[in-house]
Amino acid sequence: MQVTTINVKSSDNNTYVLIQDNQSIVIDPSCTDGRIQHTLSGTQLKAILLTHGHYDHFLGLNALHRLYPNAPIYCNHNDWDFVSGDAMIFSSQHLMDISYISQQSLNDIDSGHYTFGNFNVETFSMPGHSKGSVIYEIDHQLFTGDVLFKDSIGRCDLVGGSDKAMQQSLRLFKQFNDDTIVYPGHGSATTIGNERRYNPWLIHLIGR
């Protein structure tokens, strides 16, 4: 499986394009300048996966949905109101041209196993940053959204956030091997081993 990281400089958001046997998956289409479409060209897009419902993670969703109307869009139902614009999380949101999408176009995803074309996706519900935050394990690689970053974690003070839920979610990272690659929603990629040793929020929970 080939993983392409597309970074939006202004917000340091990462979009991930996964390609395997001419089939593809997009995780968090935050990029709006055509790089996602360019990376996807010649592949069959099997699914668009959101790690959670914050707008900076789906600014490119509408454009992608128009181009690939048959590719199902997945997001945990607890964050649907953010994606459809029925919930306002940041005041600056009113000033921005957000790429909202109707809830009829969304599919729910929760902890469990999913198959999209040739891709096997294990999903883990990890509330704390938002109620509907999930992470995806695909081919022994983790796509962690705003739950886990290199040397940091997502904030818990936004609507739907919870420090307590975040602590419980972070404990779930214990089940992954140290060499598991972590692709976060913002910033550089890392490994579970690195985070277990150096991430101040993980050290006391699952450190060694």
Residues that bind Zn ion (CB under 5 A): 54, 56, 146, 185
Minimum separation from the CB atom of position 113 to Zn ion (A): 25
Residue in the structure block whose two tokens are 């614009």: 85
**Closest alpha carbon to 84 in 112, 110, 65, 111:** 65
**To the nearest whole angstrom, how small is the minimum distance from the Cβ of residue 11 to Zn ion?**
7
Q: Which residue is nearest to Zn ion (CB)?
A: 54
Helix H segments across 43-96?
A: 61-67, 80-83
- Token pair for 203: 């050290």
Taking the complex as a whole, the smallest distance from the CB of residue 89 to Zn ion amounts, in Å, to 9
Nearer to Zn ion, 54 or 196 (CB): 54
- Of 80 and 119, which CB lies nearer to Zn ion in the complex structure? 80
* Torsion-angle region of 201 (φ positive above 0: left; ψ -120 to 50: alpha; else: beta): alpha
- 92 vs 104, beta carbon nearer Zn ion: 92
11 vs 168 by CB, closer to Zn ion: 11
Measured from the CB of residue 146, what is the shortest distance to Zn ion in angstroms? Answer: 4
Alpha-carbon gap, residue 175 to 152, rounded angstroms: 19
The DSSP secondary-structure symbol of 89 reads -
